[in-house]
Chains A and B, each alone.
Chain A
Amino acid sequence: MQKSRRFFNARNKRELLLPALFLAPAMAVLLALSIYPLIYSITISLQQQTGPDVSWGLGNFTRLLSDNFFLTALAHTFVYAVAALTCEFLLGLGLALLLNKQIRGRGIFRASLLIPMMLPTVVVGVVWRLMLNSNFGAINGTLKEFGLNTESLTWTASPKLAMLSVIAVDVWQWTPFVFLVLLAGLQAIPQEPYEAALIDGSSRWQTFRHVTLPLLKPSILIVLLLRTMDLLRVFDQIFILTEGGPGFATETISLYIYRTAFRFFDFGYAAAMSFVLLALTNVISALYIKFLQAKETI
């Protein structure tokens, strides 16, 4: 123990040299690629292009409040995140509980469920554009086979169904992730508390509520954290599937930022919107991490 302290404790300056050297390249890269861009972003968000001149001020931020497109996109992002997260979590948990038994073919189920989440999101967009096309897509084609009238089922083309469609696609791709992590969490739970519950005569629901859920909490939190981050910044699939349409029905913040920056070339305003997204993400992740830290899982 004494020796180990000496080996790894870097108390004096000379002993700090090696870890500093090891850390330096990583710090340099991260500073250059995330901190510097952030500062750059702040500067451009405070600039406004007014005619040929550039003026400084909070104009881009006040504009956010009166921009209906922005507020709508924000609302869409929330609807998308909450709905997809709920579905993915419930379905993933259900599947994990189903497969948390020694059954034959478990490897095959696991391997196949892995496929959707590993696919490039662009490919996911392509796959579902093919499936959901109202004229010749596989879904409507197959429904017609069963004698259903698919005329009103225009999926991504209908303002009512479009949001539902893009959420369903997210659920398709990411439920397996929730499932795999929760399954790993379930399998790490020791047998003893279950045996104790059995002796106490707890019902199945009571066991689940008082034994499984509390012990699964760290895995649940990590899943919710990572999924929330990804859902709030969703871009690729929607970009391919609907490009925010029909109308504005599936436009999320990331898409609107993209459009503002790279189609309208209003980089300042795009940067201002980015900050709102970043702040949101940070607040939410801070809440999750607070929970996680209390549990000392990281």
Chain B
Amino acid sequence: MGHKLAQTARYILLTAALLFALAPVYWMLTISFKTEVEQFAVPPPWFVFTPTPNHYHDAFVTRGFGNYLLNSAIVAVTSTACALVIGTLAAYALARFQLPWRLNRRLSLWILSTRMFPAIVTAVPLFLMMRDVQLLNTRLSLIIVYTGFNLPFVVWMMRGFFADLPRDLEEAALVDGDSRMGALVRVVLPLVAPGLAATAVFCLIVSWNEFLFALVLTQTDASTTLPVGIAGSVTQFEIKWGVMSAAATVAIVPILVFALSLQKYLVRGLSMGAVKG
């Protein structure tokens, strides 16, 4: 009896948590489909309203959100690819070669520490540097910054995945006459492919969501990303709630698809590889 009661209480609490987590997102979704009149209606219509696609049309056809979406996609994909290539090589070296002067550990910790820098600390100098090399307001500047931003994460994640693999496999490949590079590409990488994909998705999410650097480094539609565009739909006299919600809804679709595909590696990724959930 007591057990059943406890079970019921457990479900009630969990359902409350679930509603609390989802209700705000659902509310935003409804706003993106409501007319102005219904957006401001009191009492708020949670379920019953007449949906309109106008805000989506306004955001992506009339306004430049289509362009921002493109910028976001290009920046996220390119910077992820760069971080993966550079980071995987470094991670392999740290995981598989014994370096002198305890460098394996020292370098790893140093790489981790760069990830701990608060973004605003590097935002000011990076802005001035980008200005000096005339890269302000280009997608390239964001790609460079995000590559650096994701790199420590890739190194830590991939180092963990490499460490999980038994060394015998590479040795066997080497005995079979492969070069070390060959062993890495033909034997090791296929085995860590799922981990690599999970790491890639994490990097995509981080780059897709990033706001501060994008805010600082972009100036026109040529480089503005979705988060900056969304933040920009606040005008002096009114806030375009519908447009803002429509753009935000579109911004979270790829994120949700990715996040749900990640479940297996989620905890490991979120804790920089420290907890192997």
Shortest beta-carbon distance from B240 to chain A in Å = 11
Q: How far is the CA of A298 from the CA of B81 in the complex (A)?
A: 26
Q: Choose the segment among A51-59, A63-71, A159-167, A267-275 that binds chain B (4+ C-beta atoms closer than 8 Å).
A: A267-275
Distance of B217 from chain A, by nearest CB (Å): 11
**With A and B bound together, what is the CA distance between A147 and B91 in angstroms?**
59
Are B128 and A240 touching (Cβ within 8 A)? no
Are A4 and B117 neighbours in the complex by a CB distance under 8 Å? no
Contacts of A289 in B (CB 8 A): 109
- CB of B212 within 8 A of CB of A122, answer no
> Contacts A26-B86, A118-B256 hold; do A278 and B151 have CB atoms under 8 A apart?
no
Instruction: Please indicate the chain B residues that have their CB under 8 angstroms from the CB of A172 in the complex.
Output: 20-21, 24
> B165 near A: Cβ within 8 Å?
no
Interface-lining segment among A82-90, A195-203, A206-214, A255-263: A255-263
Which of B51-59, B118-126, B188-196 is found at the contact surface with chain A? B118-126
CB of B34 to closest CB in A, whole Å? 11
Task: Please determine whether A271 and B124 come into contact, CB atoms closer than 8 angstroms.
Answer: yes
Residues A239 and B114 in contact in the complex (CB < 8 Å), given A25-B86, A119-B255:
no
Does B25 lie within 8 Å of A257, measured CB to CB?
A: no
B61 at the interface (CB under 8 A from A): no
Interface residues of chain A: helix, strand, loop or mixed (majority): helix
- Among B10, B17, B116, B120, the residue within 8 A (CB) of A274 is B120
What are the residues of chain B within 8 A of A98 when measuring CB–CB?
Answer: 10, 13-14
Instruction: Pick the contact of B98: A8, A33, A145 (CB < 8 A).
Output: A8
9 new A-B pairs (CB below 8 Å) besides A118-B256, A127-B27, A181-B271?
A: A20-B93, A26-B89, A26-B151, A44-B124, A110-B263, A115-B256, A118-B252, A119-B209, A233-B119
- Are B116's CB and A229's CB within 8 A? yes
What's the Cα separation between A20 and B92 when bound, in Å?
Answer: 11
Give the size of the chain B interface in residues (CB under 8 angstroms): 102
Distance of B93 from chain A, by nearest CB (Å): 4
Could you tell me the distance in whole angstroms from the C-beta of B257 to the nearest C-beta in chain A?
Answer: 10
Q: Is B241 interfacial (CB-CB < 8 Å)?
A: yes
Which residue of chain B has the shortest Cβ distance to A260 in the bound complex? B124
Among the interface residues B97, B127, B263, which one has the most CB atoms of the partner chain A within 10 A? B97
B248 nearest CB neighbor, chain A only: A123
Closest to B259 in A: A118
A18 at the interface (CB under 8 A from B): yes
Residue A79 interfacial (CB < 8 Å) = no
- Least CB distance from B3 to A in Å reads 11
Cα A11 to Cα B275 with chains together (Å): 32
Q: By the criterion CB–CB under 8 Å, are A257 and B124 in contact?
A: yes
Whole-angstrom CA separation of A145 from B93 in the bound complex: 62
B111 interface hit (Cβ, 8 Å): yes
Query: A277–B118 Cα gap in the complex (Å)?
Result: 8
Check B22 for interface membership: any CB of A closer than 8 A.
yes
Contact of A29 among B23, B31, B147 (CB under 8 A): B147
A142 to B97: give the CA distance in the assembly, Å: 61
Q: A98-B14, A123-B251, A274-B120 are in contact. Are A118 and B205 (CB under 8 A)?
A: yes
A-B contact count (CB 8 A): 302
A113 at the interface (CB under 8 A from B): yes
Q: Does A116 reach chain B (CB closer than 8 Å)?
A: yes
Does any Cβ of B come within 8 Å of A232's Cβ?
Answer: yes
Partner of A22, one of B43, B90, B271: B90
B272 touches A (CB below 8 Å): yes
Binary contact track A6-36/B, C-beta < 8 Å → 1, others 0: 0111110001101110110111011011111
Q: What are 25 A-B pairs at a CB distance below 8 A?
A: A16-B99, A23-B90, A32-B148, A33-B144, A36-B129, A38-B122, A40-B125, A40-B129, A98-B13, A113-B17, A113-B21, A123-B230, A127-B28, A142-B43, A142-B44, A181-B270, A188-B276, A218-B274, A229-B116, A235-B119, A257-B120, A258-B212, A262-B216, A267-B128, A297-B274
When the two chains form their complex, are residues B259 and A120 in contact, meaning their CB atoms are under 8 A apart? no
Interchain CB contact under 8 A, A23 and B22: no
Nearest CB in chain A: distance from B226 CB, A: 8
Question: Known contacts A181-B277, A277-B118; is A30 also within 8 Å of B93 by CB?
Answer: no
CB closest chain-A residue, reference B149: A33
CA–CA, A229 to B114, complex, Å? Answer: 12
If A4-B167, A120-B252 touch, does A239 touch B24 (CB 8 Å cutoff)? no
> B121–A119 contact, CB under 8 A?
no
Please determine whether A222 and B271 come into contact, CB atoms closer than 8 angstroms.
Answer: yes
